[in-house]
Amino acid sequence: MNGDLLSIIVVAVLFFGALLLVLGFVTRRRKKPLNTTAFTEKWKEAQKLCAQKETWPLAVINADNILDEALKKSGYRGKTMGERLVAAQRDLSDNDGVWYGHKLRNKLVHESNTRLKEVDVKDALMGIRQALRDLGALKK
């Protein structure tokens, strides 16, 4: 009888341990709701930088920073933004567009002689904006 009670206790402990592990995994993967008001204000500020050609690079860089913040606050993990984008790719409807924007940002930051065309800035911002919408940072 003593052995049966010990077996029941071991099975119960294993069952509840597994249950806690599953619950922890499920709740950790749940995306946190983002503050759309704050992200909308930041997005409007980035858009204002599109008014003058001289501030186009800053518009792209700021938009990319806003997206990185949204990725972090949504719980996507990675040491770099690129890693976070890879983690989020199943949740983003325009991966090519968002990667275009992120690569343009990298080019602007690392290559001082980068010349921008209006269409490049628009394409980059449209890809980033769609990703922000997909994440729930901006209203659709």
Q: How far apart are CA 33 and CA 112, in angstroms?
A: 37
Confidence at residue 1, expressed as pLDDT on a 0 to 100 scale: 57
CATH no. of 36-135? 1.20.120
State what percent of residues in the chain have pLDDT above 70: 82
For residue range 16-71, list pLDDT tens digits in order: 766 677 666 655 555 668 999 999 999 999 999 999 999 999 999 999 999 999 99
Checking phi first, is residue 78 left (phi over 0); if not, alpha (psi -120 to 50) or beta?
left
What are the tokens at 21? 């592990």
**Per-residue pLDDT tens over the stretch 30-44:** 566 899 999 999 999
R_g of the chain computed on alpha carbons: 22
DSSP string, the chain: -HHHHHHHHHHHHHHHHHHHHHHHHHHHHSPPPP-HHHHHHHHHHHHHGGGSGGGHHHHHHHHHHHHHHHHHHTT---SSHHHHHHHHGGG-S-HHHHHHHHHHHHHHHH-TT----HHHHHHHHHHHHHHHHHHTSS--
In the chain, where the domains are located:
1-30, 36-135
